Amino acid sequence: MRAAQARGDHVRRSVRAGVIGLVAALACIGLAACTAASRGAPSPASPPATPALDPQLVAALETTLDESFAATQLPGIIVGLWIPGEGEWVAARGTANLETGEPMKPGNQQKIGSVTKSIVTSVALQIIGEGTSGLTLEDTIDRWYPDFPEASRITVRMLMNMSSGIGPPGMEQIARICADTRAAPDPEAVIAIGATTPRSSFAPGDGFTYSGFNTFLLGRILEQTTGAQLADLIQDRITEPFGMSRSRFAPDGQVDAPATHGYTMFCPDMPQPTDTIDWSNAESWAAGAMVSTLEDMRAWGVAIGAGAGLSPEMLVARNSDTAPDSGPDGLAYGLGVQVHRDLATGCILDLGHSGAEPGYGTNVTYFATTDAVFVAFANGDGGTGEEIFQVVQALHPVFATAVTTAPTQPCSE
């Protein structure tokens, strides 16, 4: 996990790149079995052959990937682009393990950082939408944390869209990680740090500060409200129903083979870079402790696009309850997702999230007008956490016209 200021820059940069996906419809969640059942397609055990993308597009993507990857400090990267009816493109460059020279492979598992926020928030929105837990978007957090600064004015909704004004962890977080890479602080201890962190200057609900302390609070509120562990809620509501069999909520930071080693340059007193594959993820917890694979993140992109199991009311809230000042025109941070809308029509163009842990970077995007999904996995941070975006920003213009069709009619939620 990076410092929150770096994470905030990370989110804004990915927004500017236009590579954070959005959703438009409630539908079957897009898993193979669901699609087969609804359309009479072949079963997941014998899927039809996937067509290749247009050769000219593939050639341009391959060339751009080569050039942009070579300009980074990344040991390796894996990217995937899936366009329904058109085909797919999956490519890997570089090394998954600098010690052995093992190449990057699409099936490798790695840490995905803040993409976890989109998953935890989706769990919360599912539970709220069901209406049986007593939890609402308007609940103020003094119900659970009466001594937290501004607790009587911060709502669950504000935790989700980062408008609470809770300050970012800053470089103090990086210092804690570098001092003890296998530390396992209790979530309550991290929340206590958040309570003493200086607030942003705006009142709750009046601005945007990207801070993982928000999602820590949300995760603990979910546990206290439901009586279930966050890991179980994620498995029961997200990874299992959406077919993400190699995804796990992993505060222990452990990844399962085949796996990609991550390489960080955040810690100045360590070798540059340092392997982080066995570092703890406890400093991330609900804000970034998931591990996953390229294919599972494709499934999550599809699930986001189909509504992620949310009720119609909660789906509208997810996409519309955006934080003030959270992005340039047409781009904003919703309830656990980045939202990109067409200014002329109000239609959603894309939605998704990005993430980082020391040594790792991830980007997941769903494109609403074509149901396309783009995923990028990298295993280096360059000491800034921004290295992956050099590649993402280079690739996006190459495939943009293939994944987005300009809306012609106004959209309404």
- Percent of the chain scored above 90 by pLDDT? 85
Sheet holding 248-249, edge to edge: 109-113, 290-293, 248-249
Determine the pLDDT at residue 49. 56
Instruction: Render pLDDT for 322-342 as a digit per residue (tens, 0 to 9).
Output: 999 999 989 999 999 999 999
Read off the pLDDT of each residue in 265-275 and give the average, rounded to a whole number. Answer: 97
Evaluate whether residue 391 is within a structural domain: no
Q: How many domains does the chain have?
A: 1
**pLDDT, averaged across the chain:** 89
Instruction: Render pLDDT for 246-259 as a digit per residue (tens, 0 to 9).
Output: 999 999 999 999 99
Determine the pLDDT at residue 50. 63
Determine the pLDDT at residue 413. 67
Read off the pLDDT of each residue in 233-254 and give the average, rounded to a whole number. Answer: 98
- pLDDT tops 50 at residue 239: yes
Q: Which of 3-12, 20-29, 271-280 has the highest mean pLDDT?
A: 271-280
- pLDDT tops 90 at residue 19: no
- Percent of the chain scored above 70 by pLDDT? 87
Evaluate whether residue 317 is within a structural domain: yes
Q: Which of 21-30, 134-143, 184-193, 316-325 has the lowest mean pLDDT?
A: 21-30
Determine the pLDDT at residue 334. 98
Evaluate whether residue 372 is within a structural domain: no
User: Which residue range forms the structural domain that includes residue 119?
Assistant: 4-38+99-366
Evaluate whether residue 396 is within a structural domain: no
Task: Please name every residue paired with 351 in a beta bridge, in sequence order, or none if there are none.
Answer: 22, 366
Evaluate whether residue 244 is within a structural domain: yes
Evaluate whether residue 384 is within a structural domain: no
- pLDDT tops 60 at residue 178: yes
Instruction: Render pLDDT for 51-73 as a digit per residue (tens, 0 to 9).
Output: 679 999 999 999 999 999 999 99
Instruction: Render pLDDT for 349-376 as a digit per residue (tens, 0 to 9).
Output: 999 999 999 999 999 999 999 999 999 9
State the pLDDT confidence band at 412, using cuts at 50, 70 and 90.
confident
Instruction: Render pLDDT for 389-407 as a digit per residue (tens, 0 to 9).
Output: 999 999 999 999 999 999 9
Evaluate whether residue 301 is within a structural domain: yes
CATH of the domain at 213: 3.40.710.10
State the pLDDT confidence band at 22, using cuts at 50, 70 and 90.
very low
- pLDDT tops 90 at residue 23: no
Evaluate whether residue 397 is within a structural domain: no
Determine the pLDDT at residue 329. 87
| pTM for the model | 0.89
